Amino acid sequence: SVIHRDVKAENILLSFENQVKLADFGTAREVNNLFQTRLPEVGTSLWRAPETWSGAENQDLPVDIYALGITFVEILVPSKSWYPSSYDYARDTEELRPKPEWRPTKPASIQNNPFQEEFWELITLCWSEDPQSRLDILRVLSRLLSMSQ
Protein backbone atom coordinates (compact mmCIF):
# COMPACT_ATOMS: atom_id res chain seq x y z
CA SER A 1 0.00 0.00 0.00
CA VAL A 2 1.04 3.60 -0.63
CA ILE A 3 0.27 6.77 1.32
CA HIS A 4 0.05 9.69 -1.13
CA ARG A 5 0.32 12.38 1.59
CA ASP A 6 -0.72 15.30 -0.63
CA VAL A 7 -4.26 14.52 -1.76
CA LYS A 8 -6.03 17.72 -2.84
CA ALA A 9 -8.11 18.82 -5.82
CA GLU A 10 -5.14 20.09 -7.82
CA ASN A 11 -3.59 16.59 -7.65
CA ILE A 12 -6.71 14.86 -8.96
CA LEU A 13 -7.09 14.62 -12.72
CA LEU A 14 -10.03 13.57 -14.86
CA SER A 15 -9.33 11.77 -18.13
CA PHE A 16 -11.30 12.20 -21.34
CA GLU A 17 -12.91 8.85 -20.46
CA ASN A 18 -14.06 10.30 -17.11
CA GLN A 19 -11.56 8.23 -15.15
CA VAL A 20 -10.19 9.82 -11.98
CA LYS A 21 -6.40 9.82 -11.74
CA LEU A 22 -4.27 10.81 -8.76
CA ALA A 23 -1.15 12.80 -9.65
CA ASP A 24 2.00 14.11 -7.95
CA PHE A 25 3.43 11.19 -6.03
CA GLY A 26 6.47 13.19 -4.91
CA THR A 27 5.58 12.82 -1.22
CA ALA A 28 4.15 9.29 -1.46
CA ARG A 29 5.64 6.50 0.65
CA GLU A 30 5.06 2.80 1.15
CA VAL A 31 2.97 2.08 4.24
CA ASN A 32 5.37 -0.62 5.43
CA ASN A 33 8.34 1.79 5.47
CA LEU A 34 7.82 3.34 8.92
CA PHE A 35 10.82 5.67 8.69
CA GLN A 36 9.60 7.27 5.47
CA THR A 37 5.99 7.67 6.61
CA ARG A 38 6.90 9.60 9.77
CA LEU A 39 8.24 12.68 7.98
CA PRO A 40 5.85 15.39 9.26
CA GLU A 41 6.86 18.17 6.85
CA VAL A 42 5.04 16.86 3.78
CA GLY A 43 1.71 17.74 2.30
CA THR A 44 -0.21 20.99 2.13
CA SER A 45 -1.20 22.33 5.56
CA LEU A 46 -4.98 22.54 5.26
CA TRP A 47 -5.18 18.98 3.89
CA ARG A 48 -2.82 17.38 6.41
CA ALA A 49 -4.25 15.03 9.00
CA PRO A 50 -3.65 15.93 12.66
CA GLU A 51 -1.33 12.96 13.22
CA THR A 52 1.10 14.25 10.58
CA TRP A 53 1.78 17.32 12.69
CA SER A 54 2.76 15.33 15.76
CA GLY A 55 5.03 12.93 13.87
CA ALA A 56 2.95 9.98 15.08
CA GLU A 57 4.47 6.60 14.27
CA ASN A 58 1.26 5.09 12.95
CA GLN A 59 0.73 7.29 9.91
CA ASP A 60 -1.17 5.09 7.52
CA LEU A 61 -3.90 5.24 4.90
CA PRO A 62 -6.24 7.33 7.14
CA VAL A 63 -3.88 10.26 6.42
CA ASP A 64 -5.11 10.26 2.83
CA ILE A 65 -8.74 9.75 3.87
CA TYR A 66 -8.52 12.93 5.97
CA ALA A 67 -7.16 14.85 2.98
CA LEU A 68 -9.84 13.33 0.76
CA GLY A 69 -12.50 14.74 3.10
CA ILE A 70 -11.02 18.22 2.75
CA THR A 71 -10.80 17.67 -1.02
CA PHE A 72 -14.50 16.85 -1.06
CA VAL A 73 -15.09 20.25 0.54
CA GLU A 74 -13.15 21.79 -2.36
CA ILE A 75 -15.54 20.05 -4.74
CA LEU A 76 -18.66 21.03 -2.81
CA VAL A 77 -17.56 24.63 -2.19
CA PRO A 78 -15.32 25.45 -5.18
CA SER A 79 -15.02 29.16 -4.34
CA LYS A 80 -12.40 28.43 -1.66
CA SER A 81 -14.48 30.55 0.70
CA TRP A 82 -13.89 27.81 3.29
CA TYR A 83 -10.18 28.72 3.58
CA PRO A 84 -9.39 30.45 6.87
CA SER A 85 -8.91 34.16 6.20
CA SER A 86 -5.33 33.98 7.52
CA TYR A 87 -4.31 31.15 5.17
CA ASP A 88 -1.71 32.02 2.54
CA TYR A 89 -1.32 29.09 0.12
CA ALA A 90 2.00 30.46 -1.15
CA ARG A 91 3.35 30.54 2.42
CA ASP A 92 2.27 27.07 3.45
CA THR A 93 4.35 26.37 6.57
CA GLU A 94 4.04 24.64 9.92
CA GLU A 95 2.89 27.88 11.55
CA LEU A 96 -0.26 27.45 9.45
CA ARG A 97 -1.01 24.02 10.91
CA PRO A 98 -4.72 23.21 10.76
CA LYS A 99 -6.68 23.97 13.87
CA PRO A 100 -10.18 22.60 14.57
CA GLU A 101 -11.73 25.99 13.91
CA TRP A 102 -10.21 25.91 10.43
CA ARG A 103 -12.46 23.07 9.40
CA PRO A 104 -15.11 24.36 7.09
CA THR A 105 -18.59 24.73 8.42
CA LYS A 106 -21.50 23.29 6.50
CA PRO A 107 -22.42 25.80 3.79
CA ALA A 108 -25.93 27.22 4.02
CA SER A 109 -26.28 26.58 0.28
CA ILE A 110 -26.55 22.81 0.83
CA GLN A 111 -29.55 23.02 3.16
CA ASN A 112 -32.54 21.09 1.84
CA ASN A 113 -30.46 19.32 -0.79
CA PRO A 114 -30.45 15.60 0.15
CA PHE A 115 -27.44 14.70 -2.02
CA GLN A 116 -25.30 17.55 -0.70
CA GLU A 117 -26.40 16.84 2.89
CA GLU A 118 -25.32 13.21 2.49
CA PHE A 119 -22.07 14.32 0.86
CA TRP A 120 -21.40 16.63 3.83
CA GLU A 121 -21.96 13.71 6.21
CA LEU A 122 -19.40 11.68 4.24
CA ILE A 123 -16.95 14.59 4.49
CA THR A 124 -17.23 14.71 8.27
CA LEU A 125 -16.65 10.94 8.49
CA CYS A 126 -13.42 11.36 6.51
CA TRP A 127 -11.86 14.07 8.64
CA SER A 128 -12.32 12.70 12.12
CA GLU A 129 -9.52 13.72 14.52
CA ASP A 130 -9.01 10.06 15.41
CA PRO A 131 -7.48 8.17 12.46
CA GLN A 132 -9.16 4.94 13.57
CA SER A 133 -12.58 6.60 13.37
CA ARG A 134 -12.17 7.63 9.73
CA LEU A 135 -13.81 5.58 7.03
CA ASP A 136 -11.58 3.32 5.00
CA ILE A 137 -11.43 3.84 1.24
CA LEU A 138 -13.80 0.96 0.48
CA ARG A 139 -16.48 2.50 2.70
CA VAL A 140 -15.91 5.92 1.12
CA LEU A 141 -16.33 4.42 -2.36
CA SER A 142 -19.37 2.43 -1.27
CA ARG A 143 -21.06 5.56 0.09
CA LEU A 144 -20.23 7.52 -3.04
CA LEU A 145 -21.70 4.76 -5.22
CA SER A 146 -24.87 4.58 -3.16
CA MET A 147 -25.24 8.36 -3.33
CA SER A 148 -24.95 8.33 -7.12
CA GLN A 149 -27.88 5.93 -7.60
Single out the catalytic residue among 6, 64, 88, 136: 6
The percent of residues in the chain predicted with pLDDT above 70, rounded, is: 74
The model's pTM? 0.82
**Is the model more confident about 38 or about 97?**
97
pLDDT of residue 148: 85
pLDDT at position 44 over 80: no
Asked about 6 being catalytic, the answer comes back as yes
Whether the predicted pLDDT of 13 surpasses 90: yes
Q: In this model, does residue 139 exceed pLDDT 70?
A: yes
Predicted confidence band of residue 5 (pLDDT cuts 50, 70, 90) = confident
pLDDT at 11 over 80: yes
pLDDT at site 28: 80
65: pLDDT strictly greater than 90: yes
pLDDT of residue 35: 55
SS (H, E, C) the chain: CEECCCCCHHHEEECCCCCEEECCCCCCEECCCHHHHCCCCCCCHHHCCHHHHHCCCCCCCHHHHHHHHHHHHHHHCCCCCCCCCCCCHHHCCHHHCCCHHHCCCCCHHHCCCHHHHHHHHHHHHHCCCCHHHCCCHHHHHHHHHHHCC
Asked whether the predicted pLDDT for residue 45 surpasses 80, the reply is no
